[in-house]
Amino acid sequence: MLDKLSSIARFKSSCPYLGRTKVSTLRTMATRTSARFPAMSRLTEKASHCPVMGPALLISSTQTGSVSRARSYASLAEKSAVDEIHKTEGVFPVSAGVVCPHASAAAAASKSAETIRAAKMAGCPAHAHKATEQPNVDTATIKPEPSKRHSAFSYEQFYTAELDKKHHDKSYRYFNNINRIAPRFPVAHTASHAEEVDVWCSNDYLGMSRNPVVLETMHRTLNQYGAGAGGTRNIAGNGQMHLALEDELATLHRKPAAL
């Protein structure tokens, strides 16, 4: 199974379906039988609808013919189906060490078919009429449907078209250039310093960003510790100011801790 999955992985870059399907999903499909066709896996059933793999599977199944079907039935059929055949034929349960008569018949039919086919290919006239009774399909006459080449999906073209739609229906979002002026809360200017607006839609609706106590504390902290934490806690560890703030928030909300 690992060999099959490694072979499939080689074609992920050239097959659109394999490329967008997870390996775990492919493993599940390769190990579970199809509900419609118990003799094949779900992945094989999916491949039969592919314009490239479909014709290839058709040729392969035709070349294998009834010989493989007779040989592989016992291994692919579910146990319940085999038990039902045994019950119908009065050989249930099959004793340990006893060869199943149906498996023996399938093996004999397989061997007989191989013998007839080999004799026909050798030009034996005695088996010519047997070959006509169960004609073999000439694979040379089978012409697979022309495969459709799957070009790589153009994400650039797709997103360009989607953005054009947004521009066309006026739903493309532009962000305003807003610069709040601390001494003149809630006044702010746009990209042009001469154009001023009032801002009431920010999270600073209480004007705490210009509070003298907040500003003085921030200045004192910046002068002592500099700007920024120096990295995440996984890298730079905890900061004293952050821990003090978390303790204060926990006390405010009457919780054992805050983050």
Q: What is the pLDDT along the chain (259 residues), one digit of tens a residue?
A: 555 556 666 666 667 777 788 888 888 888 887 777 776 788 887 877 777 776 766 666 655 554 444 444 444 455 666 667 667 766 656 565 555 665 666 666 666 666 767 666 666 655 555 445 555 555 556 666 665 666 688 999 999 999 999 999 999 998 999 999 988 989 999 999 999 999 988 898 888 999 999 999 999 999 998 988 888 889 888 888 889 999 999 999 999 999 8
The amino acid occupying position 134 is Q
**Exposure of 21 in the CB half-sphere (CA atoms within 13 A):** 20
Chain CA centroid to CA 223, Å: 52
Tokens of 222: 């910046």
CA 105 – CA 112 distance, rounded (Å): 10
According to DSSP, residue 229 is labeled -
Cα–Cα nearest to 30, from 65, 61, 2, 58:
2
